Chain A
Amino acid sequence: MRDTTPDGLSRDAAPRVERALRATRLTKRYGDVVAVDGLTFSLVPGTITGLLGPNGAGKTTTLRLVLGLAAPTSGTAAVFGRPYRLLEEPSRRVGALLESDDFDPGRSGRNHLLALTLAAGVDIARVEEVLALVELTDAADRPVGTYSLGMRQRLGLAAALLGDPELLILDEPANGLDPAGVHWLRAFLRAFAQAGRTVLICSHVLAEVAQTVDSILILSRGRLVAERHMEDLPDARTLEALYLSATTDEAA
């Protein structure tokens, strides 16, 4: 578990705070295209961080690298000190909602969660808890193919919460939620972070992010182009100005 130098000595002399997530010079190339370019950032426990950027900036690729779905060309991404693929019982540490609508339309919502719960080794009573939390209990036996976008989004959130994780990674979580749902999600994430846990939200809806996060990272063409605390951005308009200047500079 401890970092060791090549000669096997531990580096306890300089202990580091364990970050929920730490990316170090993370890079992903597809042929000549650099999707993620030397990205370095870390998440402080107890905070909500927004990962912003236009489509194609590398947000989703970054999440796939962090979650072990894709392998970096170079650099590292560590979750609680180790690569995601080496985590024991990852669902108890990390919950993720991806934007890709990952359900079998013929399987019911409850069975989708049950299959994941069985694999995660989590108590199956947890399925009913998360269904109630996202208010899907009544629709749980219907095939997911009959769900609205908002319902699928809530089912994805329920799946992310199955293992009661310490880190939540959400790609466009407000997508398809009605205003009441967005309000509920914001309060939920706020309480989640106040309990000392960590949230990373990917989005390009600036106004929504501005109301939810503690700090932002802005990606453009795979690079980290700005990093700010929300205290330094008094209103949504300042955020928008920063976003536009950060993401359009290089395109000119």
Chain B
Amino acid sequence: MIAQLRSELHKQRSTRTSLLLMAWMVGLVVLVVALHVLSFGATDLSRQSNQMKILGLGTAIGALFAALFGALSITAEFRTGTIRPTLLVTPRRTRVIAAKVGASMLAGVGVGVLAEALTAGGEAVGLAARGVEVELTGGDYAQLVAGGAAAAAFFAAIGVGVGAAVRNQVASVVGLCVWLLLVEPLLLGDVPAVGKYAPGASAGAVAGAIQSQIADSLVVPGLGLALLAAYAALVALAGSLLINRRDID
């Protein structure tokens, strides 16, 4: 198991995919934070709840890119065919999936911290430039970074499960984007009583905010964490079961 984990960590570092994903994420965070800080009026910006909502963009972007990171760890192997040598060396496929979940969760922590820290830093710089005072506490920031890291780690595991189940790279990436950027906001907006239990909303609960949703519309952080862990376990398990049952072409 340790051998497979080391192999997966080596795979992460030995192509440019990880670096490219991170570059895309940094660019997206900077763009989105800049747009929000520049487009809000000064009075709106000075409200604590609006400052939280901007931070929530970091949670959403971190969760999305962590999920993509996880999904690519397996769909890239199906796309290039390296899944065959991988499974010849480790024919017990559950071990391969477990190693990918472990390696992607480790990367997810980094992705989450980077996304949240960059969002918070970008927002602070933007507010200072516009002469608006930061109304957020050290506790808000601590929850944002720690919660965002945990949420991104679980989303990385969800990504591995989705990738193992779907196998096709484009379909997995589009599916994850549609879910997080389209379906979840709709759920939260139209049926919040149900939507607040969804994975993205749970990530927001853990980190303190996601997209335009803040604590009062979300579940308590502890429940959010438990829900995320349950989703990650379920999706990874489903991916593992499917990859064990199906033939490799």
Contacts and interface: CB of A to CB of B under 8 A. Distances in A.
Contacts of A87: 91
A133 interface: no
Q: How large is the interface on B (under 10, 10 to 19, 20 to 34, 35 or more residues)?
A: 20 to 34
Contacts of B81: 100-103
Interface string A79-115: 0000011110011001010101111111110011011
B27 to A, nearest CB: 20
A64 B14 contact: no
A120 B82 CA distance: 15
Interface in B1-57: 3-4, 6-7, 10-11, 14-17
B85 interface: yes
Given A64-B247, A102-B81, A106-B16, A115 B7 contact: yes
B89 interface: yes
A112 B84 CA distance: 13
A15 to B, nearest CB: 27
A189 interface: no
Contacts of B84: 69, 98, 100, 102
Given A67-B91, A103-B82, A106-B16, 5 more contacts: A69-B84, A90-B89, A100-B84, A115-B7, A118-B10
A33 interface: no
Contacts of B11: 107, 115
Contact of B85 (A84, A85, A116): A116
B216 to A, nearest CB: 46
Q: How large is the interface on A (under 10, 10 to 19, 20 to 34, 35 or more residues)?
A: 20 to 34
A101 B10 CA distance: 21
A68 interface: yes
Given A90-B89, A114-B14, A120 B3 contact: yes
B89 A120 contact: yes
Nearest to A84: B91
B194 interface: no
A63 B83 CA distance: 16
B91 A106 contact: no
A100 B80 CA distance: 10
Interface in B170-184: none
Interface string A188-201: 00000000000000
B80 A102 contact: yes
B86 interface: yes
Query: Nearest 10 CB-CB pairs, A to B?
Result: A119-B7, A102-B81, A70-B247, A111-B14, A118-B7, A85-B91, A69-B248, A106-B15, A104-B80, A121-B3
A64 B248 contact: yes
Interface in A144-167: 159
A132 interface: no
Contacts of B76: 104
Contacts of A107: 11, 14-15
Nearest to A98: B84
A161 to B, nearest CB: 13
B91 A68 contact: yes
25 contacts: A64-B248, A69-B84, A71-B247, A87-B91, A91-B88, A96-B88, A98-B84, A101-B81, A102-B82, A102-B85, A104-B76, A107-B14, A114-B10, A115-B10, A115-B14, A116-B85, A116-B86, A118-B6, A118-B7, A118-B10, A119-B3, A119-B6, A119-B86, A119-B89, A120-B3
Contacts of B92: 85
Interface in B151-184: none
A101 B14 CA distance: 18
Contacts of A90: 88-89, 91
A104 B15 contact: yes
Contacts of A105: 80
Interface in B193-249: 247-248
Contact of A70 (B88, B90, B248): B248
B87 interface: yes
A133 B129 CA distance: 62
Contacts of B14: 107-108, 111, 114-115
